[in-house]
Amino acid sequence: MNAAPASKVYTLPEDLPLDCGQVLAGAQVAYETYGELASDRSNAILVCHALTGDQYVASKHPITGKPGWWERMVGPGLPIDTDRYHVICANVIGSCMGSTGPASPAPDGSPYAMRFPVITIRDMVRGIVALLDGLGIARLHAVIGGSMCGMQTLSLAANWPERAERVLVIASTARHSAQNIAFHEVGRQAIMADPAWADGDYYAADASPDNGLAVARMAAHITYLSEEGLTEKFGRRLQDRSSKSFGFDADFQVESYLRYQGSGFTQRFDANSYLYITRAMDYFDLAEEHGGKLANAFDGSSARFCLVSFDTDWLYPTAESRHIVHALNAAGAKVSFVELSAPAGHDSFLLPHKQLDRVVEGFIK
Amino acid sequence: MNAAPASKVYTLPEDLPLDCGQVLAGAQVAYETYGELASDRSNAILVCHALTGDQYVASKHPITGKPGWWERMVGPGLPIDTDRYHVICANVIGSCMGSTGPASPAPDGSPYAMRFPVITIRDMVRGIVALLDGLGIARLHAVIGGSMCGMQTLSLAANWPERAERVLVIASTARHSAQNIAFHEVGRQAIMADPAWADGDYYAADASPDNGLAVARMAAHITYLSEEGLTEKFGRRLQDRSSKSFGFDADFQVESYLRYQGSGFTQRFDANSYLYITRAMDYFDLAEEHGGKLANAFDGSSARFCLVSFDTDWLYPTAESRHIVHALNAAGAKVSFVELSAPAGHDSFLLPHKQLDRVVEGFIK
């Protein structure tokens, strides 16, 4: 990947304590903001990002040049209306777009690489809460997140309940299942099997483990899409040819698409960050953090919650959202829940969906 | 992998024509048989094997020392009763357990490697039909197969309809879906990304692409199991430790299990065979072979068909079996169909299942 581009960067004034027992000294959190902060600081909305996302939620990605990953949702007059709200999106600790991660220099000046401590979702949120402190935002109007961002959203609501009035969790889960862990483990093994990974010490080398990272991305990408969505989009259609080649080129469109997803990803993402962030997701189990009972995580919460799932999402299926809703009910929290119909599987939260727009807009009003 | 062990081997007396237009000269088919062939040759049952299976359906695997892959189904007094039937199981062309494949010597004496022609499911069946000719078996009492063996079973029924009286297809499909192709493509890319793959020319080298092959196997293995089955078997339980290591070892049992599946597989399977056989499966589309209409494939067939699916199989879900049943109905064929309930996903056909036993036993009577 290329060097991380400039973004707003907040250097934490204090050591960031981590769940593993270590601390990160001088950690930085890169972030973007959209819309004006009201004088009473009451209109801030935190939008978290997913595994391979970043802070460029509604502005052009500086490496790929592509639009922000949720431009259809965040902006003037859009469901998360930047004419009304001050939207903050921060790159998570462990990532590679300006926040401190394995590619960042350790205190000795060399990249952390695998010396970077193993972090958790709660550690990521700790970093973001420190940023909110730095920005003087005591209480968020809302925190919103899909997929891994939903985990952060839940973690913030559970561990810093005073920091958010509204909590919107989309296509997410309160714990990683065995199947979720299994897919991530395949990705990690693909990276680590790449000789260019070199035990993580590739930053000064000529090559980085792009082949392994691409395979990891390809495997993960399948889980983001539904079987029906793949069939509709590609079926068994051939790629730029009228008949099978009887070879190992990408004969099928779906092969070509996956290869493109894999190779494109390596341009913008660091393989070690992929290891650390998938590990954090696999470690995530909100109930375990709260005495084994998910309802405990939300005990006495005064926030309003909204859960959204998609009927074709097999990565974090509706049952996972329902599980969270039951826990919130048991904790006496205010919660609404909707399962939306969408053909595209897990990635539906990133795609145009009028009902999702209405849910988001209505919930944060 | 180690060298393929001795098995019965039939050398085809004629060139084997392939769908790609090439021929295989001097091709060999390795096979095992169980039970006596009746003097009128009327009691032969062909059992095909799956992607990574082999001819050792009911006898010890010569490399791993493990029991045959369907020992609970094939044997004296078992549903496929070798006291009554003569059971034949042949290693498919392209594989690596004695039948001609990429590891076999080409006419020039060196291994074919990637010079091996790209084969199809129909080519595999051509090889098996040639073996049946050699064995003097004009008509099978039954042909039985699950997963990829189900594809071979369907292909035999469609292309050599006079060769089988009964056709039993378990947990299979008449075509590979976009998602099926996608998972296979991840596996192929993992192998090809391994520098030890060396464009397939690794047979004389010190190393073979075991890392890539292990990743391929891990990714595929997830698709053989259901989400529920994985949760039941492993959940989020830790492997030989009381708390998370905050490292990249296999903390979770499911990680340890997958790594074991991956590394164990490389002992007994050839990476190039994995490429060729997955390609054959991805190319499989029985309707396409028959003018785009699946019913055409079974036109005028006098065989009795039985289709079995499992409710938790997301690799080849029940809808795929039903699709075949509808085509058989449209073709006026005799067909029965049952969806069985089993927690284990696609692999259920290999596991103990009394209802499956009864279906198999009853159908071949």
A144-174 pLDDT tens trace: 999 999 999 999 999 999 999 999 999 999 9
Instruction: Please confirm, yes or no, whether A147 is among the known catalytic residues.
Output: yes
Positive/negative CA dihedral, B16, B22, B25, B30:
negative
Give a three-class secondary structure readout of B117-158: CCCCHHHHHHHHHHHHHHHCCCCECEEEEECHHHHHHHHHHH
Evaluate if residue A6 carries a pLDDT over 70: no
pLDDT class for A7, splitting at 50, 70, 90? confident
Positive/negative CA dihedral, B125, B128, B134, B140:
negative
Alpha-carbon distance A256 to A165, whole Å? 44
Question: Catalytic: which of A7, A313, A347, A353?
Answer: A313
Instruction: Please confirm, yes or no, whether A323 is among the known catalytic residues.
Output: no
H-state helical runs in chain B: 121-135, 148-159, 178-193, 210-224, 227-233, 253-266, 271-283, 286-289, 318-330, 354-364
Q: Distances in Å between the alpha carbon of B225 and those of A103, A181, B231, B235, B364?
A: 36, 14, 10, 13, 28
Contacts of A226 (CB under 8 A, 6+ apart): A312, A313, A314, A343, A344, A345, A346
Evaluate if residue B187 carries a pLDDT over 70: yes
Element containing residue B163 per DSSP (H, E): none
Q: What is the mean pLDDT of residues B204-222?
A: 97
Instruction: Please confirm, yes or no, whether B346 is among the known catalytic residues.
Output: yes
Give ∠ CA A333-A339-A342 in degrees, rounded to 5: 150
CB contact under 8 A, A182 and B255: yes
B40 burial (CB, 10 Å; 0-12 / 13-18 / 19+) is: exposed
A17-69 pLDDT tens trace: 999 999 999 999 999 999 999 999 999 999 999 999 999 999 999 999 999 99
Q: Which two tokens stand for residue B73?
A: 């189904």
Count of A-B CB contacts under 8 Å: 152
Alpha-carbon distance A261 to B88, whole Å? 44
Q: Which two tokens stand for residue A250?
A: 């990408």
Alpha-carbon distance A242 to A236, whole Å? 12
CB contact under 8 A, B222 and A285: no
Q: Which two tokens stand for residue A36?
A: 């004006």
Report the pLDDT value the prediction gives residue A47, as an integer from 0 to 100.
Answer: 98
Residues 83-122 of A with CB under 8 A from B: 114, 117-118
Bridge partners of A170, per DSSP, are: A146, A308
B28-42 pLDDT tens trace: 999 999 999 999 999
Q: Which two tokens stand for residue A336?
A: 């609404």
Positive/negative CA dihedral, B153, B155, B157, B159:
negative
DSSP line for A299-342: TT--SEEEEEEETT-SSS-HHHHHHHHHHHHHTT-EEEEEEEP-
Alpha-carbon distance A308 to B266, whole Å? 42
Report residue A341: phi and psi, to 5°. -95, 130
Q: What is the mean pLDDT of residues A262-274?
A: 97
Question: Catalytic: which of A346, A347, A348, A353?
Answer: A346
8 Å CB contact between B98 and B55: yes
Report the pLDDT value the prediction gives residue B4, as an integer from 0 to 100.
Answer: 47
Report the pLDDT value the prediction gives residue B293, as an integer from 0 to 100.
Answer: 97
Q: What is the mean pLDDT of residues B346-361?
A: 97
pLDDT above 70 covers a percentage of chain B that reads 98
Alpha-carbon distance A226 to A222, whole Å? 8
Q: What is the mean pLDDT of residues B205-218?
A: 97
Nearest CA in chain A to B283: A244
Report the pLDDT value the prediction gives residue B291, as an integer from 0 to 100.
Answer: 96
SS3 A169: strand
Evaluate if residue B167 carries a pLDDT over 90: yes
Contacts of A204 (CB under 8 A, 6+ apart): none
The minimum CA-CA distance between A158 and chain B, rounded to whole Å, is 21
Nearest to A222 among B183, B234, B275 (CB): B183
Report the pLDDT value the prediction gives residue B7, as an integer from 0 to 100.
Answer: 86
Q: Distances in Å between the alpha carbon of A277 and those of A262, B19, B82, B212, B351?
A: 17, 46, 53, 22, 36
Best interface-test mutation with B: which of A20, A123, A188, A227 has the largest number of B CBs within 10 A?
A: A227
**Sequence letter at residue A161:** P
Percentages helix, strand, coil for chain B (3-state, rounded to 5) are 40, 15, 45
Nearest CA in chain A to B226: A179
Report the pLDDT value the prediction gives residue A1, as an integer from 0 to 100.
Answer: 52
pLDDT class for B300, splitting at 50, 70, 90? confident
DSSP A174: S
pTM: 0.96
CB contact under 8 A, A189 and B227: no
SS3 B45: strand
SS3 A166: strand
Q: What is the mean pLDDT of residues A179-201?
A: 97
Q: What average pLDDT does chain B have?
A: 96
| Contacting residues of B for A247, CB less than 8 Å apart | 118
Report the pLDDT value the prediction gives residue B153, as an integer from 0 to 100.
Answer: 98
- A36 touches B at CB < 8 Å: no
- A258 touches B at CB < 8 Å: yes
Report the pLDDT value the prediction gives residue B6, as an integer from 0 to 100.
Answer: 67
SS3 A146: strand
Nearest CA in chain B to A190: B215
Q: Which residue in B196, B13, B213, B24 sits closest to B106, CA to CA?
A: B24
The minimum CA-CA distance between A81 and chain B, rounded to whole Å, is 37
The minimum CA-CA distance between B325 and chain A, rounded to whole Å, is 20
Domains and CATH numbers, chain B: 8-176+284-364 (3.40.50.1820), 180-277 (1.10.1740.110)
